Chain A
């Protein structure tokens, strides 16, 4: 299978045209073709959440999404959450303040999920945050600090 297809993607508000095979995932399109490596590959089979991005405002696993599926839809990655040099998104600030990460590899996915968790209205209690952040694995074990960060960011965002 070598047939290439041209796809037009809107990522972080910018238009990109890519010529790739239709089997290329959104994750690999971002990392290997667009040099947007902030989105992480942890398992490539939808189990860890490291590749979480927003598609039309909803959190999505980019490793289980083909790039061709998101044509005409707005994709936001960690690089687009706050403008370079501009103020950090409240979730990013809270992650830094509460030391909600160690190695940092699951972090972009955690942050993208956390933004959604708050937007979805699922940050009402610590238990609710834990439940709605459980699709994102963190092997360093930053969970208690992630809960603190989401709780604090939710206050700022409300």
Chain B
């Protein structure tokens, strides 16, 4: 039997096919309030937990007086390390086997301010909150090391695996005709999804149901199973909608363990929502970073050497690495290169992942440094980027799969009007406003993990797609419907997508901008398999309306099956299903390589990141690319900076739905504007507290901060990068925004700000 290839159309109309600008199919639920986010369930008998955090950053808990809280009306339990049900340490996200020690989510030894030390569970939220204020904690306090600016932070630890070197960077730098060297710093930055973190934990015997917003249902479910020594299948996690994550909802948390312990001890469902201030310390955001970059170049601006030394903060008890050499090592062609990285333990929560971990601060360093070199040698900042354009990956020494960065520079410059830039600093002005133009590039790798999906054809002609993969606003629901509709040949309205439930087929983490590519790939494969089976059924079943045609294949278009030899033979899928008496056809498929299809590796693939391929695995180096052109206006008296205009050109390969991809790009750009001008975790150097732990003091962009943004797609399908040709989208667009703004501010004012954010006191 031969199967006619699925017709592939790449329309830009909202025709429901892949590549079309279909409005998001989960949209109606979200605009009417019907979307049920994880925390919006009320299982019978649910009670409320409130977490109590340490008010010191270093020391130990000597005593916890729970008597007043326990006597408070409605209080069911005050949980402390002394009475908490013991649980085991679980395998971590890399797959490293756990040590044989208990896991204690409530701390006795304190290493950061905001560490969980107790919890109060009561009949109502109000009672739990009031009783939590009555718990008295006695500490033995020691002096904290509040940040890596503290002179007592001492020896930084070198992370050898981050070292990247070729040529002789020091020697080449020493004899370079032009040398510049500067330090670039970024502060602690926070994810700040508008849906705060939390969960509802509900035990029924040894079955645990969790309603918890999650970027990684399977990875987190495994952790809960191992904590409580129950089979993975006994954990049901539900997360059909997630109110934003940006990297912060991918891994299990201590408060998650607390809620599940409390629910087990009380045999009642427990809801635990951390407060907005707690979202600054219950999990980590991006660590503070610093980078020293020395560039050696010819007088014409051709790079001869890059020497890069960097460090990020980590916690006292764990290792967090923000890969600061990730963009430095691939953006420009340079014959001599050295990058090394340290980490500095301080009294903070362990830093976590925030949109483009590594690439984001890395680009701030190198993309400011190259701009400084352009002014130093007196050439255009865009020209210096083209002069040093990397035709292949200078680190991996492999060809790019696709790198449409040259096209991005051209398209962005044209749309922005870069040619109108006056070369000198402080040379463009309107009244009291100094105007500056800035440019910077960005990149994000293509990460690849095999995926899995179930596609069902139901008797009424409905197509069902199912996966534990999630949609936190990227558009997973929509693009998977488009993928299945196109592969099978049905109207997109007939596709139902079910996501965010651990009882569905497995999915790896929605992180590293990999989910769209791996899930469209898996759905494509599963949908074609279901389509093959349907066509086989229609050809061979004795009750099929096509039985008498003696056809060796059939086509499916618009939900109608027909023989290519008889255009008048058209029959609806539902009619074929009815006539053949089938109630469903289903295909469960994964894209695992043969050697990983055994049970253990299948489980490992979806519950750890150990099978994720690096962007240089194979014959090519695979990355998305972008460039941002920015116009800023700086008030000459007050130093206030506004981004007044921005054009970005981006190469994310093939876009499965440009309408939704553009939204993600703009979202990344807006977060980048916040990073450049507003966002900074302020740490009290005396006591290690994050002082601005709320949305009134930790400033994220508001509507009034953002001008109209123009985004231009310059990508082409890259089938080395993914089955259907897409590359990374979600994390790409933030990379390069902050340096583009810093470069524009320099052009406007002549003042080079190398420590983010660019606030007015640095300009006056």
Contact = CB atoms under 8 A, between A and B. Distances in A.
Interface of A: 1-2, 21, 23-24, 28, 31-32, 35-45, 47-48, 50, 77-79, 81-82, 84, 88, 92, 95-97, 99, 101-108, 111, 126, 129-131, 133-134, 136-147
B534 to A, nearest CB: 32
Q: Secondary structure at chain A's binding surface: helix, strand, loop or mixed?
A: loop
A23 B74 CA distance: 15
Contacts of B659: 99
Contact of A79 (B32, B194, B694, B696): B32
B33 A38 contact: yes
B703 A103 contact: no
B27 interface: yes
Contacts of B702: 134, 137, 143
A21 B126 contact: yes
A143 B670 contact: yes
Contacts of B660: 99
Given A142-B663, A143-B670, A106 B194 contact: yes
A2 B703 contact: no
| Most chain B CB within a 10 A radius of its CB, from A1, A36, A40, A50 | A40
A108 B592 CA distance: 40
B667 interface: yes
B668 interface: yes
A137 B195 contact: no
Interface string B198-242: 000000000000000000000000000000000000000000011
Contact of A138 (B30, B33, B194, B273): B194
A133 B42 contact: no
Q: Which 4 A-B pairs have the closest CB atoms?
A: A38-B33, A105-B243, A102-B473, A104-B30
Given A43-B695, A102-B664, A103-B193, A96 B28 contact: yes
B1 interface: no
Interface residues of B, number: 64
Interface in B667-711: 667-671, 694-696, 700-704, 706, 708-709
29 contacts: A24-B126, A36-B33, A38-B32, A40-B195, A43-B694, A44-B276, A47-B694, A78-B31, A79-B33, A79-B34, A82-B32, A99-B659, A101-B30, A102-B473, A103-B242, A103-B473, A104-B27, A104-B30, A105-B193, A130-B703, A138-B703, A139-B671, A140-B663, A141-B666, A143-B703, A143-B706, A144-B708, A144-B709, A145-B666
A79 B36 CA distance: 13
A99 B125 contact: no
A131 B706 CA distance: 10
Contacts of B28: 88, 96
Interface string B248-283: 000000000000000000000000010110000000
A43 B473 contact: no
A47 B694 CA distance: 8
A31 B33 contact: no
Interface of B: 23-24, 26-37, 40, 42, 73-74, 124-127, 130, 191-196, 241-246, 273, 275-276, 472-475, 659-660, 662-664, 666-671, 694-696, 700-704, 706, 708-709
Nearest to A32: B125
Contacts of B242: 103
B736 to A, nearest CB: 16
Contact of B241 (A43, A77, A104, A136): A104
Nearest to B28: A96
Nearest to A89: B31
B33 A103 contact: no
Given A102-B473, A146-B703, A140 B31 contact: no
B196 A41 contact: yes
Given A37-B37, A99-B662, A103-B242, 14 more contacts: A28-B125, A41-B196, A47-B276, A47-B694, A81-B32, A96-B28, A101-B30, A103-B244, A104-B241, A133-B703, A134-B704, A139-B700, A141-B670, A143-B703
A39 B704 CA distance: 23
Contact of B40 (A37, A134, A141): A37
A43 B31 contact: no
Given A99-B23, A103-B472, A141-B701, A37 B196 contact: no
A130 B244 contact: no
B669 A141 contact: yes
Contact of B194 (A37, A45, A97, A137): A137
Given A43-B694, A144-B709, A88 B194 contact: no
| Most chain B CB within a 10 A radius of its CB, from A77, A82, A140 | A140
Nearest to B279: A43
A5 to B, nearest CB: 13
Contacts of A47: 276, 694-696
Contacts of A146: 703
